C-alpha cells in the first residue's frame, strides 16, 4: 500500500486545493479520482478506520441525491453507509487523504495539513 493516497474529485475546488498542497509536500502521492476509480468496500472500511470517526455518516455527503437513492437516514448503521458509498461513490466526502495508517477529510484543508505534519 502506498504511503499517501488522495481520494480526489477534480471538479471540486477544495479537492483541487488539497491536491496542490499535498503535491508540494509528498513525492510518492497516489491520486485516485474516486468517481472514475471507486473505492472497494474493503477500501472504504480502511478509510473509515483510518479516519478514526465514530460514525460513517461523517465521511459522506448527505445532501447528494444518491443519499436518498441509497435509502439512507441518520439511523443507518456504519455498514449500511459504507455499502451505500460502495454503490454510489459520489457520496464520499472529498477530498480524503490516507497517510500511513491515518486519514483526514480535507474540509477544511487544515485537517490534511495537520495529518501530514503530525
Indicate the pTM of the whole model: 0.94
At residue 2, the pLDDT reads: 57
For 63, residues 6+ apart whose C-beta sits below 8 A from its C-beta are: none
Regions of the chain where pLDDT drops below 50: none
**Catalytic residues, which ones?**
12
What proportions of the chain, in percent to the nearest 5, are helix, strand and coil?
45, 15, 40
pLDDT in the model for residue 24: 95
pLDDT at residue 3, as a whole number? 85
Q: What is the CATH number of the domain that holds 92?
A: 3.40.30.10
CA gap 106, 98 in Å, rounded = 11
Number of domains in the chain: 1
Full domain range(s) for residue 60: 4-116
- d(CA 50, CA 10) in angstroms, rounded, equals 23
Amino acid at each position: 500500500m502506498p504511503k499517501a493516497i488522495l481520494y480526489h474529485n477534480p471538479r471540486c475546488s477544495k479537492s483541487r486545493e488539497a491536491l496542490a498542497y499535498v503535491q508540494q509536500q509528498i513525492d510518492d502521492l497516489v491520486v485516485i479520482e474516486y468517481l472514475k476509480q471507486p473505492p472497494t468496500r474493503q477500501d472504504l472500511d480502511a478509510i473509515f478506520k483510518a479516519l478514526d470517526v465514530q460514525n460513517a455518516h461523517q465521511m459522506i455527503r448527505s445532501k447528494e441525491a444518491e443519499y436518498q437513492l441509497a435509502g439512507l437516514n441518520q439511523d443507518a448503521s456504519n455498514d449500511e453507509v459504507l455499502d451505500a458509498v460502495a454503490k454510489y461513490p459520489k457520496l464520499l466526502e472529498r477530498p480524503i487523504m490516507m497517510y500511513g495508517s491515518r486519514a483526514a477529510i480535507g474540509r477544511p484543508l487544515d485537517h490534511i495539513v495537520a495529518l501530514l505534519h503530525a
